Amino acid sequence: MTKNSLKRSIPHIVLFAFLILTLYPFLFVLFSSIKSDNQAIASNPFGFPASFHFENYREAWVNAKISVYFFNSLYISTLCSVVTILFSSMGAYAISRIRYLRISNVMYQAILIGLLIPGNALLLPIFIMLNKMEFFGHAVLGTHMALILPYTAGAIPFTVIILVAFMRSIPGEIEEASVMDGLSAKGIFSKIIMPITVPALVTVFIINFIGNWNEFLMANFFISSDNLRTLPVGMVGFRDIYNTNYAQMSAGIVFSILPVMIIYAVLQKQIIEGLTAGGVKG
């Protein structure tokens, strides 16, 4: 092997090692989830299972209420992501199209400040606020609204920043032509801007969805009913119930990471396009 070929091989070797390190935890959990019991895992922790035990998934899905936690997380994550995009897209369009640049910059920087505040630092103020709030005469704390409100509000700053960068790259001539065709501001936003912004919308939807899906602290503190818990919180209780059955616990972990893996595998191209498209002007 020549010196030049060795130099060319080094990046590939490093990437391959990184790939192994990245995939190994998932493969370990996947193989453990179809092994018979703890003894099979302990005797051969790194190897392929001798026999497949898919009943671990059924036990986790039904008996450990993973199905309830799964659909709670799916409902909350999807709803919050959609509502966040709805409000953020309107705000981003207003900021990117304000005629007075100074006002636009002030509003943009005010939203940018929201990214500088750690979410965990707001846990207690949010708890106090939710404890005083009511929704149609019912307390918000202890319901899914206690998660929907902070999830939606907390994701708006990041979403607005991404969408503003994308919308500012859209040529103004497109809107001028739309005005000449008789479209109102509402029509331009809904029929012109939103379709063009789809790559960025897909990106922020996926990022917000995954963030909501994996969130633990608020879901743990604000929800007390077992039937209303999300999947990350439910997995903690699952561990307590099956603290000696790591095969079934691994099956529950697979359920929790499966949607995220599918989203990234199917839509990774859209994620990259949405994050980079706003960097090109015109």
pLDDT single digits (tens) 213-250: 999 999 999 998 989 999 999 887 766 555 667 788 88
| pLDDT of 46 higher than 80 | no
Determine the Cα–Cα distance for residues 189 and 183; give it in Å rounded to an integer: 9
CATH architecture of the domain formed by 64-277: Orthogonal Bundle (1.10)
Q: How many CB atoms within 10 Å of residue 89?
A: 22
Highest mean pLDDT among 102-111, 139-148, 238-247: 139-148
Q: Rounded to whole angstroms, what are the CA distances from 123 to 93, 146, 152, 157, 238? A: 30, 12, 15, 17, 25
Q: Where are the domains of the chain?
A: 64-277
Q: Tell me, what's the pLDDT at 83? A: 96
The pair phi, psi for residue 143, each rounded to 5°, is -120, 175
% of the chain residues with pLDDT over 70: 91
Q: Tell me, what's the pLDDT at 152? A: 95
- Averaged pLDDT, 150-176: 88
* Token couple for 52: 């497949």
The label of the residue with tokens 């590939």 reads 12
Q: Rounded to whole angstroms, what are the CA distances from 98 to 84, 88, 275, 281? A: 21, 15, 23, 18
- Averaged pLDDT, 108-129: 86
Q: How many CB atoms within 10 Å of residue 219?
A: 25
Q: In the structure, what pLDDT confidence band is assigned to residue 281 with cuts at 50, 70 and 90?
A: very low
Q: Tell me, what's the pLDDT at 32? A: 86
Beta partners for 134?
A: 139
Q: In the structure, what pLDDT confidence band is assigned to residue 261 with cuts at 50, 70 and 90?
A: confident
CB 59 within 8 A of CB 243: no
| pLDDT of 282 higher than 60 | no
Determine the Cα–Cα distance for residues 263 and 258; give it in Å rounded to an integer: 9
3-state secondary structure (DSSP) of residue 171: coil
Give the global pTM. Answer: 0.83
Cα angle 53, 259, 33 (rounded to 5 degrees) comes to 20
* Token couple for 181: 């065709």
- Averaged pLDDT, 177-192: 84
- Averaged pLDDT, 265-272: 76
